[in-house]
A and B are shown apart, each in its own frame.
Chain A
């Protein structure tokens, strides 16, 4: 039983990280209807810039601020060079454009900063401690507190501030939002910037666990099932979807894996997502506007 619980808990923590990456998708999807494949590349870019700065002796918070500023610049550039020329095009074209964007970001990041794996120490020890018979890493606990705090801040910003309310207006009815004077390009820049900063947080937490390397970029691929399960337009949904994917992947690997000759975590999440689509097409928290037949 303890083994089951520990597997479950480890899976839940991994899922929290999936959810963190998925939040970036949700923000961008809500505001611009784009499934942003480059979110993973943004996680990689942010983490590698941060770790390079810290290795050069820059203070943690200065590096954090500088990387955040860079992500804002990247967001502004993406809006001007990619999104604006492609507005009103079909979603698949926009998706392919972000795929091209991920090539540019991944390539440029590794071209300028190299392809080495960097160890990242963000000052939280990764030691398992005994909590009533269960061994849980302190890192996981602090990381999940950071994620919870981030979600709370985002929820507050989106429900209380003028900017957040404009964003929800755009998500709800773009045309109506424009007609009352909300400027779409500004909203896009802000949303891509926030997604960039969320990517930085995700990059730091993932990077501290696995080392900062190119594979961070591939986390993107798990976001599609997470979003299908949680719903494309809900931030809490992204977290819950992440938790479900993480936990079921971990459990399937342990209990299903031996029956079929090896780890099933590469594809299990997609099967789960398709099953969810059949039962609950809008996802757990999504709007009910999914195109059903």
Chain B
């Protein structure tokens, strides 16, 4: 389990080490921005950008969204993908029905609509805790595909009930190319990561953790538990709504209600557990795992050239087996998720000056 101490920033008597750590942190952020906005778009091929990097970044963002709710506030959601679909259908209809709305405003409003929906489905959290919350969010997971399928208004009466991405542009810049879509995704992601850090290090984030670890004690301290829980659903769903827009418009280019199905919700859950609960960057490791494992397995099967496996269905099923087994393996071997790797790396760096 991640304790409160691990997740709070270092404070304490060791003043010189703290400033080192702060410097290191600043350097890491700067390096991250240089890599994300300088090196990656310059170096990566279109295939890498479109098929690996963009989905990894977007799914990592989905992981952060759920992690705010589950890792920090200790609440449960089995319907992450439903809130993503609310985001993308909101964005589609906003662009369609409110001409001239700039892209950032569309994202913001879609996030807010998803947040309102999230609060509604989070209302049962005021009455009970734990796994039972799964019921209402699982209900959302089945309700929204039904809603978007049965009422074609949401997809502008399209025959196939699919919505296709509008032209992505901002301040006259065309964002249609792989690099443009990547920069769009990376900018939104960087802003949301910043927001996520602000939230978890603010009073709000600390109170979430207090509620997660000891709800009774938290309420004795005067924390307004009910309000904080609903805020957790609101903020998590806000993030998920924007993530849904990125997934539909910047990655797939098209979406329908079933793009955001239960499997997607479970993938987001896997990202949180594999990446590590109550972490921010661990989610990207989890997302990389979710995106890369099927691709790697594909290549492995091709390389092994197993003749009797030429049947695509058999390969898909073999992949399911391996994927499931890896998940169980990681859950057993890395209780804190893959983010334990980041922490060990950071500790190794920090330990060096001492010796």
Identify which of A82, A93, A228, A264 contacts B132 (C-beta below 8 A).
A228
Q: Which residues of A contact B313 (CB under 8 A)?
A: 110, 115
Query: Is B76 positioned at the interface, with any CB of A under 8 Å from its CB?
Result: yes
Interface residues in B209-250 by Cβ distance below 8 A to A read: 215, 225-226
Closest to B76 in A: A92
Whether A290 pairs with B324 at a CB distance below 8 angstroms is no
A180 beta carbon closer than 8 Å to chain B = no
A97 shortest CB reach to chain B, Å: 5
Set of chain A residues within 8 Å of B332, measured between Cβ atoms: 82, 85-86, 97
Give every chain A residue within 8 A of B323 (Cβ-Cβ).
Answer: 100, 103, 107
Contacts of B320 in A (CB 8 A): 103-104, 106-107
Specify the chain A residue showing the minimal Cβ separation from B225: A293
> What are the interface flags for B303-322 relative to A under an 8 Å C-beta threshold, 1 for contact and 0 otherwise?
00000000001100111110
> Is A95 an interface position by the 8 A CB rule?
yes
- Our pick among A90, A228, A261 for the contact of B151 (Cβ within 8 Å) is A261
Of chain A, the residue at the smallest CB distance from B327 is A100
Residue A292 contacts which of B128, B135, B136, B142 (CB distance < 8 angstroms)?
Answer: B128
Tell whether B138 is near chain A: CB-to-CB under 8 Å. Answer: yes
Among the 9-residue stretches B9-17, B98-106, B265-273, the one with 4 or more Cβ atoms under 8 Å from chain A is: B265-273
Within 8 A of A (CB), among B26-72: 70
Inter-subunit contact B146/A292 (CB<8 Å): no
Contact status B146-A264, CB under 8 Å: yes
Closest A residue by C-beta to B79: A270
Q: What B residues does A271 contact at CB under 8 A?
A: 139, 143
Bound-state Cα–Cα, A278 to B324, Å:
35
Name A291's contact: one of B130, B139, B151, B270 (CB within 8 Å): B130
Residue pair B325, A270 in contact (C-beta under 8 Å): no
For B135, what are the chain A residues with a Cβ–Cβ distance below 8 Å?
Answer: 224-225, 228, 270, 273-274, 277
A99 touches B327 (CB 8 A): yes
Chain A residues 232-286 with CB under 8 Å of chain B are 260-262, 264, 266-267, 270-271, 273-274, 277-278, 281
Chain B residue at smallest Cβ distance from A37 = B266
Q: Does A101 contact B (CB under 8 A)?
A: yes
Q: Across the interface, which residues of B come within 8 angstroms of A260, CB to CB?
A: 150
In the complex, whether A131 has a CB less than 8 A from a CB of chain B is no
Query: Cα distance A278–B126 when bound, in Å?
Result: 10
Residues of A close to B318: CB separation below 8 A = 107, 111
Q: How far is the CB of B214 from chain A (nearest CB, A)?
A: 13
Tell me the chain A residues, 163-187 only, with Cβ under 8 Å from chain B. Answer: none
Whether the Cβ atoms of A267 and B321 lie closer than 8 Å is: no
CB pair A104–B129 under 8 Å, yes or no, is: no
With a cutoff of 8 Å between Cβ atoms, the chain A residues found around residue B314 in the complex are 111
Residue B331, interface by CB 8 Å: yes
Chain A: residues with CB nearer than 8 A to chain B? Answer: 35, 81-82, 85-86, 89-93, 95-97, 99-104, 106-108, 110-111, 115, 221, 224-225, 228, 260-262, 264, 266-267, 270-271, 273-274, 277-278, 281, 290-293
Give the top 8 A-B pairs by smallest Cβ distance, nearest first.
A270-B139, A103-B324, A107-B320, A100-B327, A107-B321, A104-B324, A267-B142, A111-B317
Complex A-B: 14 CB contacts under 8 Å: A82-B328, A85-B332, A89-B331, A92-B70, A103-B327, A106-B317, A111-B314, A264-B146, A267-B146, A270-B139, A277-B124, A291-B128, A291-B129, A293-B127
Q: A86-B332, A100-B323, A104-B321 are in contact. List 20 more A-B contacts (CB 8 A).
A: A82-B332, A85-B332, A89-B335, A93-B335, A96-B269, A96-B273, A99-B270, A100-B328, A100-B331, A103-B327, A107-B323, A221-B138, A264-B146, A266-B146, A271-B143, A277-B132, A278-B124, A290-B128, A292-B127, A293-B215
